[in-house]
Homo-oligomer: A and B are copies of this chain.
């Protein structure tokens, strides 16, 4: 790992490799502080700017964070489990909370959310998934979900306007039984869904809404729900910061595989 970096590699890459190795070997563990820029500069015989370039690599790789004026620290990461499959499980008779909230409480943490409902024009991505034309009016129900007060993921649900007009989906209140259920009550029960997951760096809006630091990629999960006759009735866009989630699902073999 460090070997390929040693020879004629630029100084900033050698610096990055040095501390990357220390982190991966466990010599530096999450929460540990790295030497100051000045110390590293002296140790490698370079100027501060070169050190900053090297540490910048580790920052964009998500391995460390800079906390002015305290120094650089090895980043910690704990993954909360995200289960796209469980969305479709029927819940107990009197659900007081949606699936997400229930899971958080089970883990002994405090969930909350900020909801904002607005009427927007569909962009190309949503229009295509909802079977509309770009520019058509849709209802966006945007949520930031927080755990212990910290933003954890985004869940923006989108509905064709004519399906949910004047329904409680358009109120920015928490719907304990979930929008799937409300949609079913409105006569649009969902029958199947297509999940698409993209991996990319977040855009500035996502960075802002989720308070993301540099070096944090996101998984973007498009969950498009269809009625039995194949009509799309909702498209949820979930944005999951990579440092806070792992996505889990299970598969069962349809028939026994025999030789």
Q: Which residues of B contact A180 (CB under 8 A)?
A: 257
**A90: which of B197, B199, B254 is its contact (CB, 8 Å)?**
B254
Closest B residue, CB atoms, query A218: B199
Given A20-B204, A199-B217: A248 and B194 interface contact (C-beta under 8 Å): yes
Interface size class of A (residues with CB under 8 A): 35 or more
**A88: which of B84, B181, B203, B254 is its contact (CB, 8 Å)?**
B254
Counted per complex, copies of this chain come to 2
Separation of A56 and B60 alpha carbons in the complex (Å):
10
Q: Report which A residues bind B (CB closer than 8 A).
A: 1, 4-5, 17, 20, 24, 56, 60-62, 79, 84-85, 87-90, 180-181, 184-185, 189-201, 203-205, 208, 214-215, 217-219, 240, 242-243, 245-259
Question: Which interface residue of A24, A181, A242, A254 has the most chain B CB atoms within 10 A?
Answer: A242
Min CB–CB distance A84 → chain B (angstroms): 7
Separation of A217 and B245 alpha carbons in the complex (Å):
15
Contact in complex: B87, A198 (CB < 8 Å): no
Contact in complex: A248, B195 (CB < 8 Å): yes
Q: Which residues of B contact A256 (CB under 8 A)?
A: 189, 191
Contact in complex: A243, B197 (CB < 8 Å): no
Contact in complex: B219, A199 (CB < 8 Å): yes
Q: Which residues of B contact A185 (CB under 8 A)?
A: 259
